[in-house]
Amino acid sequence: CKGASYRYAFSATPTGVTKARDWSLEGYTGPILDRTITTPELVERGLSTKTTVKLVKYTDAEPPHEDLEDWDTCRRKYIDQNQARNQAIRVLVERETSQGKRVCIFVSLVERHGKLLAKVLKDLHPSALYGSASNDMRIASLEEFKGQPGQVLITTLLKEGINLPEMDILILAGGGKSDVATIQQGGRVVRTSPGKVQATIYDFIDSDSRVTFNHTLERYEAYKSEGYPVELLDLTQEGL
């Protein structure tokens, strides 16, 4: 757009990734001129699907006052390799696919979590889509997911602009605290598709450690800031 009189930039997450990115974006496009449009406004205009966030309680553990472990250790023990948490994911997948819903599971790490969940869900025949996949493999995985109701996809790619409006259910299994990443990932399931009237985001109350619990609180605030209705789903009452 060299020589253009006007340049317009649109983004669901224009700021907040890094300060350097914020400054570069403003340098290229100028300051933000309009207010943020909330998720409920987009739903009302028919531009997004009505979406509910369900925070899943899968343990009765109370968060300790402080942690002696670093984030990577906490993530391995209390997110990726947490048997109760992964079993909760299986319960959710079984429940939703039995109703013909297409379920996408976002993970942060391939070897430590994505492949482990694939084993937990083996009899439900999940497909996988990771950054190392060739373009042909990506196309094949996405077409398989879109093709039939009740499909399951495990992926690390929701932060990279993947367009999958057929998704009914998003399970955010990766944890973490980034409000920008939470909003970006959640935005993948709100996209409209013929016959799609309701979408659901499942996230988890990770109370086994103070670090992961604080991250849960930050994601909760991100959902509320976007205007999502947030509900509690207590799987501990169902004998998990």
DSSP string of 201-221, one letter each residue: EEEE---SSHHHHHHHHHHHH
Output phi, psi for 34, to 5 deg.
-120, 160
Task: Enter the pTM of the model.
Answer: 0.87
Spatial distance between the Cα atoms of 224 and 240, rounded to a whole number of angstroms:
27
Output phi, psi for 154, to 5 deg.
-105, 125
Tokens 């998990």 locate to: 240
CB-CB contact of 177 with 170 (8 Å):
no
pLDDT recorded at residue 73: 92
How many other CB atoms are found less than 10 A from the CB of residue 81? 13
pLDDT recorded at residue 196: 93
* Packed helices 210-226 and 179-186: angle between N→C axes, nearest 10 degrees: 60
Q: Please give the DSSP secondary-structure letter assigned to residue 125.
A: -
CB-CB contact of 104 with 164 (8 Å):
yes
In this structure, the dihedral spanned by the alpha carbons of residues 230, 236, 237 and 240, taken in order and rounded to 10 degrees, is 120
Residues of the chain with pLDDT under 50: none
Distances (CA, A) of 237 to 58, 214, 233: 9, 23, 9
Sign of CA dihedral 185, 191, 194, 195: positive
pLDDT recorded at residue 161: 58
- For 213-236, give one letter per residue: b (16+ CB within 10 A) or e: bebbeebbebbeebebeeeebebe
